[in-house]
């Protein structure tokens, strides 16, 4: 049996905005199993970042967060700042799209890694410095002992993202959350960074949550996938099940909209993403869903098992069979 | 070629960069675009692909004379743009438009959508209040009449990009440079905008220079493709030839790096993993600019610059040891 390292239950996040309260995350249930790579996809504004910022305790104080997040059995929602500081970097780490802003421009790279090590482990400066060089080596930085003495501006974008990963895994956390870690990078560099992430997952058994809008990236690295729409998870399952026979109309639409070799006309999802200050009633996807019926306007579906997938669609059983893309 | 609309010949753009290092002040030259040549036929789409900093945007801006090229020429409808007087250029400019990547930054937040769309008409001194034209344009890009009175912040990214396209269409251009027009949009929305570009082209017959780093979108929309690396075109030819039979190692690596959205295919694939990042255009490598990352590089690659040469499948590539 697999061990759950992260268990999110009914997570909700509300922001006060000038146009009224905005419920960005509207009841998420999600498990991350030890050592797995969970892909999280969904369009811009669907609540991917906010869900995991809430998990990390990194949202501004004015955000109202409710629900439960258990990390290796410890409750994170409502925990004190002191406790969260002791958890972040030790049990769970998060990396972001822009590696430059996450590094301190006036400190040497090696020192920044040592600092992370020493804030959670009692290590001498010398041992920390040595370990920092090992970490740089693990994330694929050539000549790590020279590079450790350099400053962030001396590193390229891809190299900085490697450094960020080194800092994030320094204390061997159980979970690494990577929020669009390759979006700002070129594809040839993205391929390198994905390889580093897979290597870390493999070597240390770190569970990785990879947030991305790129279904190609998901297809490349994820074991399981969670699809989000309008602050809810609408479908989840293993990578092959999800790509082979997606059940939720949004997942189907997403896969159908991708350009594939050949000149067939593309199939967009009609309409536009919801305004989260005033999301559509019932199933928030109903204004854009080709299968929507009256019931969809009234009932907010929750994840239910259909075959190998879990799907949040009131009509999931009645939908025509999905045709696989080639 | 008689149906040639745009011809770019040996285009060079260097930017001067001033660097203050302590007391010493040095001038450095960024070689953003070096000897780029291509042409675009009427009603056709040329895709310009390459990693960030490869010079795509700079090429686009030089074509529209938003910046002055360092050297080289751009012919539009047979006229060399560099030789035109200010007034002549102004008249020609209405036939060439550009749509930018960021649908959030490219519209004036203080103008209603209608005012934004009719602005180019006013700038060009076209008489009238243009209300009918605005409605026609809104419909053309799949928006509705009541959108004209609203402001950009009330629209989503995809809708804003449509507004940007409507604005670019206002003067019936023969050429639109689309600089990463769908990069900022969600995939489900991208598809609709790509369809829009295709529909507009088949109805109105304009040409596109479609700049993107997303190779699968370019494959879908382009007739011809040019691959840029560090300011130079390394491979250019028909979309089918370049994608199915890439002959330049960089093209091959680039195509190989794009993950395919199908787990079984993606995981079974042999991938070429390039090492390192793109070098600085301030000091590009001698000979072949790709040689610092190329797994096939030999001594000659550092000494001799490879020239674009026709390959068996019809495209041209610049490499001493092309793939076959
Ligand atoms: N600090 C904040 N104050 C108010 N609203 C916020 C704040 N942060 C996020 N939101 C809103 O919460 C919703 C979810 O945002 P989130 O950043 O999680 O989206 P995302 O899925 O990560 O999107 P993207 O793909 O663009 O990163 C959006 O409607 C967003 O505008
Ligand atoms: N105004 C400018 N001043 C100095 N350098 C510039 C300027 N514009 C572009 N560059 C440089 O020229 C190169 C090509 O840039 P660009 O054409 O924007 O590339 P792309 O669009 O392919 O990402 C880059 O190295 C960029 O930093
Ligand atoms: S619940 Fe209804 S609207 Fe929502 S996805 Fe299912 S069929 Fe479509
Ligand atoms: S010329 Fe040499 S270095 Fe350049 S791409 Fe060809 S083999 Fe590689
Ligand atoms: Mg986000
Ligand atoms: Mg650009």
| Residue B31 resides in a domain | yes
Per-residue pLDDT averaged across B133-161, rounded?
Answer: 88
Q: Is the pLDDT of residue B153 over 90?
A: no
Task: Report the residue of B19, B156, B190, B191 to disrupt the A interface, i.e. the one with the largest count of A CBs within 10 Å.
Answer: B191
pLDDT the model gives residue B20: 66
Mean pLDDT of B259-279: 90
Beta strand A4-17 with A20-33 is antiparallel
H helices of B80-186, where? Answer: 86-93, 113-123, 131-140, 157-169
Q: What does the angle CA A246 – CA A265 – CA B183 come to, to the nearest 5 degrees?
A: 80
Write out the residues of chain A at the interface with chain B, using a CB-CB cutoff of 8 A: 43-44, 156-159, 186-192, 194-195, 213-220, 239-240, 243, 253-255, 257-261, 263, 265-270, 272-273, 325
Return the pLDDT at A1: 54
CA distances from B164 to A39, B125, B249 (A): 33, 20, 36
Question: End-to-end distance of chain B based on CA atoms, in angstroms?
Answer: 29
The C-alpha atoms of residue B7 and residue B185 are separated, in whole angstroms, by: 30
For ligand 1, say whether the CB of A279 is within 6 Å of any of its atoms. no
- From the list A91, A100, A130, the residue with the least C-alpha distance to A5 is A91
What is residue B22's predicted lDDT score, i.e. its pLDDT? 62
Q: In this predicted model, what pLDDT tens digit does every residue of B310-321 receive, in sequence order?
A: 999 999 999 999
pLDDT at B108: 92
Q: Do B195 and A257 touch (CB under 8 A)?
A: no
Of A23, A47, A182, best ligand 1 pocket probe by most atoms within 8 Å of the beta carbon:
A47
CB contact under 8 A, B215 and A257: no
Residue B117 resides in a domain: no
pLDDT at residue B25, rounded to an integer: 67
Q: Where in chain A is the domain with CATH 3.40.50.300?
A: 4-222
pLDDT in tens, A276-286: 889 999 999 99
Q: B62 lies in a domain?
A: yes
Show the tokens assigned to B230: 């560090």
Residue-level pLDDT at A273: 85
Mean pLDDT across B131-141: 91
Residue A238's closest chain B neighbor by CA?
B263
Of the listed ranges A27-36, B153-162, B241-250, B287-296, the least confidently predicted one is: B153-162
In a domain, B120, yes or no: no
Contact A216 B219 (CB under 8 A): no
Mutation probe of ligand 3 site: the residue of A42, A315, A316 with most atoms within 8 A of C-beta: A315
CATH number at residue B56: 3.40.50.300
Parent domain of B46:
4-95+173-318
Q: Determine the pLDDT at residue B189.
A: 84
pLDDT band with cut points at 50, 70 and 90 for residue B145 = confident
Q: What is the pLDDT of residue B146?
A: 85
Q: What is the pLDDT of residue A280?
A: 96
- Of B158, B186, B262, which is closest to A213 when you measure between CB atoms? B186
| Interface ipTM | 0.88
Residues 6+ apart with CB under 8 A from A108: A148, A149, A150, A151
Which of B50-64, B99-113, B167-181, B290-304 bottoms out in mean pLDDT, i.e. has the lowest? B99-113
Q: Is residue B286 part of a domain?
A: yes
Of 1.10.940.10, 3.10.580.10, 3.40.50.300, 3.40.250.10, the CATH number of A4-222 is 3.40.50.300
The pLDDT of residue A184: 83
B321 in contact with ligand 4, CB cutoff 6 A:
yes
Q: Which residues of chain A have pLDDT under 50?
A: none
Nearest-CB residue to B216 (from A190, A255, A259): A259
User: pLDDT (tens digit, 9 = 90+) per residue, B79-114?
Assistant: 999 999 988 988 888 899 999 887 778 899 999 999
User: pLDDT averaged over chain B?
Assistant: 92
Number of independent structural domains in chain B = 1
The DSSP symbol for B44 reads -
Q: How many Å lie between the centroid of ligand 4 and the Cα of residue B163? A: 43
Is residue B168 in a domain? no
- Closest Cα of chain B to A80: distance in Å? 37
Out of A249, A270, A302, A312, mutate this one to test ligand 3's pocket (max ligand atoms within 8 Å of CB): namely A249
CA distance B248 to B253: 9
Asked whether the beta carbons of A206 and A196 are under 8 A apart, the reply is no
Return d(Cα A176, Cα A6) in angstroms, integer. 11
Ligand nearest to the CA of B180: 6
Ligand 6 centroid to B57 CA: how many Å? 4
- Average pLDDT (B42-55) is 94
* pLDDT number for residue B302: 97
- Residue B291 Cβ contacting ligand 4 at under 6 Å: yes
Q: For residue A326, give how far its alpha carbon lies from the nearest alpha carbon of chain B (Å).
A: 9
Higher pLDDT, B176 or B155: B176
Is the distance from the beta carbon of residue A24 to the nearest atom of ligand 1 less than 6 Å?
A: yes
Nearest to A312 by CA among A28, A7, A24: A28
- Tell me how far the alpha carbon of residue A201 lies from the centroid of ligand 6, in angstroms: 34
Asked if residue B128 is part of any domain, the answer here is no
Q: Which chain B residues touch A213 with a CB distance below 8 Å?
A: 186-187
How many angstroms is it from B100 CA to the middle of ligand 2? Answer: 15
Q: What's the average model confidence in pLDDT over B137-150?
A: 89
* Alpha helices, H only, chain A: 48-56, 81-87, 109-120, 125-138, 144-147, 157-169, 187-204, 215-221, 239-244, 249-256
């Amino acid at each position: 049996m697999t061990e759950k390292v992260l268990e999110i239950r009914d997570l909700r996040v509300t922001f006060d905005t000038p146009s009224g309260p905005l419920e960005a995350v509207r009841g998420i249930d999600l498990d991350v199993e030890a050592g797995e790579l969970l892909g999280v996809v969904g369009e811009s504004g669907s609540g991917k970042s906010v869900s995991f910022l809430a998990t990390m305790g990194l949202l501004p104080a004015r955000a109202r967060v409710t629900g439960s997040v258990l990390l290796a059995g410890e409750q994170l929602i409502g925990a004190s700042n002191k406790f969260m500081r002791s958890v972040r970097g030790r049990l769970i780490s998060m990396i972001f799209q822009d590696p430059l802003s996450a590094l301190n421009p006036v400190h040497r790279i090696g020192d920044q890694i040592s600092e992370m090590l020493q804030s959670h482990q009692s290590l001498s400066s010398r041992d920390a410095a040595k370990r920092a060089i090992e970490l740089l080596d693990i994330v694929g930085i050539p000549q790590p002992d020279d590079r450790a003495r350099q400053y962030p501006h001396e590193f390229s974008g891809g190299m900085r993202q490697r450094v960020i990963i080194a800092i994030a895994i320094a204390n061997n956390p159980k979970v690494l959350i990577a929020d669009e870690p390759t979006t700002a990078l070129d594809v040839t560099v993205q391929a390198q960074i994905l390889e580093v992430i897979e290597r870390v997952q493999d070597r240390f058994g770190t569970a990785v949550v990879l947030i991305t809008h790129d279904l190609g990236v998901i297809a490349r690295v994820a074991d399981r996938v969670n699809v989000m729409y309008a602050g809810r998870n609408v479908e989840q399952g293993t990578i092959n099940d999800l790509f082979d026979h997606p059940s939720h109309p949004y997942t189907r639409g997403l896969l159908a909209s991708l350009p594939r070799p050949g000149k067939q006309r593309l199939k967009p999802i009609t309409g536009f993403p919801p305004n989260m200050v005033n999301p559509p009633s019932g199933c928030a996807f109903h204004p854009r869903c080709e299968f929507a019926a009256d019931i969809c306007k009234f009932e907010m579906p929750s994840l239910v098992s259909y075959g190998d997938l879990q799907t949040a669609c009131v009509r999931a059983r009645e939908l025509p069979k999905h045709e696989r893309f080639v | 070629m008689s149906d040639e609309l745009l011809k770019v010949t040996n285009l060079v753009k260097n930017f001067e960069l001033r660097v203050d290092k302590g007391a010493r002040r040095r001038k450095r030259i960024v070689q953003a675009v070096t000897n780029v040549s291509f042409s675009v036929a009427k009603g056709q789409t040329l895709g310009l692909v390459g990693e960030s900093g490869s010079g795509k945007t700079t090429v686009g801006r030089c074509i529209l004379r938003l910046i002055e090229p360092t050297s080289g020429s751009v012919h539009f409808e047979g006229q060399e743009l560099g030789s035109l007087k200010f007034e002549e250029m102004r008249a020609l400019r209405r036939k060439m438009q550009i749509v930018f990547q960021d649908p959030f930054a490219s519209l004036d937040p203080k103008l209603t959508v209608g005012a934004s769309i009719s602005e180019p008409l006013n700038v060009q001194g076209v008489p009238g209040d243009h209300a009918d034209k605005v409605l026609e344009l809104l419909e053309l890009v799949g928006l509705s009449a009541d959108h004209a009175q609203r402001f950009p912040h009330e629209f989503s990214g995809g809708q804003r990009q449509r507004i940007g396209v409507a604005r670019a269409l206002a003067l019936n251009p023969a050429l639109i440079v689309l600089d990463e027009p769908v990069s900022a949009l969600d995939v489900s929305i991208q598809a609709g905008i790509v369809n829009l570009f295709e529909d507009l082209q088949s109805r109105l017959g304009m040409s596109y220079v479609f700049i993107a780093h997303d190779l699968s979108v370019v494959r879908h929309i382009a007739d011809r493709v040019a691959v840029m690396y560090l300011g130079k075109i390394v491979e250019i030819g028909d979309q089918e030839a370049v994608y199915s039979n890439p002959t330049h190692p960089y093209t091959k690596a680039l195509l190989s790096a794009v993950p395919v959205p199908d787990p079984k295919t993606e995981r079974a694939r042999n991938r070429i993993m390039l090492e390192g990042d793109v070098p600085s255009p301030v000091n590009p490598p001698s000979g072949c600019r790709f040689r610092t990352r190329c797994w096939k590089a030999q001594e000659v690659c550092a000494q001799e610059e490879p020239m674009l040469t026709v390959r068996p499948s019809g495209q041209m590539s610049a490499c001493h040891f092309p793939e076959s």
